[in-house]
Structures are given as C-alpha cells and as structure tokens.
Amino acid sequence: MILAAAVSAAPCAALPDTAHDRTELFAVCTGRLSATMEHQWLMSDPKADETEAMRAYFVSLLTASMEDSGMDPREVLNLRIEAKMAHARLLTRASFARDARDARTAQRMAAQYVAACRSLLLS
C-alpha cells in the first residue's frame, strides 16, 4: 500500500525501447548533469555533490548501454558534449541574464531538463 502510494506520487519517465535510443538519452542526461555539476561548483552550490553522484550513475548507464546500441563512441561523445554545451548556455542565461523574465525561463527549463533525467532513476 505504501509502495503503491510512493510510486504513484512521482511520475517516472519511460525508457526508450531500443538500445540506440537509450544510449542517446543517457548521453544527453550525462551531458546535462555535467554542465549542472560544473555550474554548481562555480556557484558554490552545496547540491554539487549530489549532482556529481547522479552524473556518475548516468555515466555507468551510458557505458552499459553503448555496447548493445551499435553507436560509434565518437557519436556518443558528441551527443554528450552538445547536450553539455546547450545546458551550460541555459544555466548561464539563468544566472546572468539581464532580463529577469529570461533568467526565470532559463532556470525553469534547466530544472525541467534535469528533472526529466532524474525521473529515469529509481529513488
């Protein structure tokens, strides 16, 4: 009964059906979390350690999924880098945009992207 309530309380994103799509998703999440972790370090955010642990978990998932995906490791690395750079730009806007509304929008988007990745993990 308690487990059912806990499971229904927090929606969980569904994992893609194919190894290729899972690898892409894990690569993007790893990139986003890398950008988040580095931003938290720069901003002296105490959540950096938690983000670092979650990023390490996604690195493990990514490594495990790559073998069955048939993807070129360079392609996977490129996905990680592109996601990291895009997320870093979003976090920079969130922290330093002169337009307060733009900063709030960027912060909300960055938080949603990380939450989508977090929802893939079992708590």
The residues spanned by each domain of the chain are: 18-118
Nearest partner of 123 among 20, 53, 64, 22, judged by Cα: 53
The angle subtended at Cα 41 by Cα 35 and Cα 27, nearest 5°, is 20
Question: Predicted confidence band at 12 (pLDDT cuts at 50, 70, 90)?
Answer: low
Cβ–Cβ contacts within 10 Å for residue 87, how many?
A: 24
Rounded Cα distance, 93 and 39, in Å? 12
- pLDDT tens sequence across 82-100: 999 999 999 999 999 999 9
Confidence band (pLDDT; 50, 70, 90) for 121?
Answer: confident
Q: Specify the pTM.
A: 0.86
